[in-house]
Amino acid sequence: MEQKHKEAIRSNFSSLVERTDLDSVVTSLYEKGVFSEPMIEPYRIISLPERDRKRQLYVDILRRGPLAFGHLVDTLGELGYWDLVRDLDPDSPFSFPGQRTFNPIPKLNPPTTGNDNFHSLSRPKGDVNKNPRQSSPPPAPAPHQSSDNDNAACDVTIEPPFTVVKSTKFMEDNDTKDVRLYRTRGRNRGVLLDFTYMKFDNDIEEFRNGVDVDCNNLKYLFNELGFRVLRYLNLTMAETTETLRSLDAVLVDIESVFVVVSSHGYERAHSSDTDVRCKDGKLMRLMDIIDYFNNRNLPALIGVPKVFIFQMCRGSSRDHAWTDAAPAPPHMRMPDGVLYATDGVLYDGQPVQPAAADRRLSRGRRELPLYSDILIAHSTLPGLVAHRDGKFGSWYIQVLCKVFAERAHDCHVEKLFTLVDKRLQAEFKVQTSSVDRWGFNKRLYLHPGLYES
């Protein structure tokens, strides 16, 4: 390998280790002949930390001959890591100046247990798929991003304050029951699409302190649940729309989809809809986002559960009721000095003082509802604000991550959201979440840590 190529790998070593998926990269390099099957065995030893295995991979590739660098760049481009390609080789055809994409953080290997019913979602050692184009999900669409790395805050890995309890058995579908189960037993358990807006052009909105904690907690949670995590941070309205339009290339052969949208939100007059603020200051209706996932626009997801989680204000009212004259609980008091903050509490909107796509279905001519298998979870009620802690993240996401981690192994998703609201009120007192069902007529169990061969 040429010295300049070695230096390029060494200069980007940390990014390669932190941001690439070990399994996908190893499989592609094996296909290209960079490594033989015996040589990739050490990267499959799941008893070793994944980060250590990736570090060894990028050390070993330095010794794999003059063609190894080109094969590595091709692999990264094929897997959608265009920003890494640009950093390694600006002349590569996979390098697009001015574009940034943030790919899913690699899945964490679930801890081993003595339970024979436990199966890791990670591929077993030695199980090398000869054709990753069939088994690996396609790369995420690459939204345009600003030249400064807006994702840096969300790329810091911090040990989250919860541990995901893994399932030991599958919930069974009983034909005698009125409510059936969505099927969630395969390796492609699902995809989390995280659209988060933290900073805004020309400071039209205050920087959303604490949202980086939400990003990291959601990433860790859904990795542990067996999901592929795709994160899109600080997109303009046009970039958001472009990304949504291209998702049909990513959401293929999956069992469920979760979509998180986190930003400042505003109530729409004479409507139950909410406007969400994009990076460039433009407002986008939540209904427009949901529409990209309806049965006309994404027919491949007919029958697939689609869960939306909206973390934002839905109005400006801070109304609440007090049962006595007791002060606010300690965890509701935060440092002052932040715009739109009262008593240190942050809001994903601007509170006021309380007064008191045309695509045809490809599955034949059978009639179907436009919306089905959709569950929509809001962090707050229409007309009210959503609260956020500048250090620990938004109240709703804090509670959601803890509840899902503790109970996803034995509760279906609707019950999980009920428990989220119960704990939200127990811990923070003054915020109520809501859930809407649009043809979501089965129960969705996530079965963390289990798959069916």
Residues with a known catalytic role: 264, 313
CA distances from 179 to 149, 175, 412, 443 (A): 46, 9, 12, 7
Judged by DSSP in three states, 434 sits in: strand
Which positions ≥6 away from 4 have C-beta within 8 Å? none
- Identify which of 287, 289, 293 has the alpha carbon closest to the alpha carbon of residue 271: 287
DSSP state string for 413-426: HHHHHHHHHHHHHH
Q: Look at the chain and count its residues.
A: 453
DSSP 240: H
Which positions ≥6 away from 14 have C-beta within 8 Å? none
Neighbours of 434 (CB within 10 A): 16
Find the angle CA(371)-CA(136)-CA(146) to the nearest 5 degrees. 75
Q: What share of the chain is helix, strand, coil (3-state, %, to 5)?
A: 30, 15, 55
C-alpha 82/C-alpha 142 separation (Å) is 8
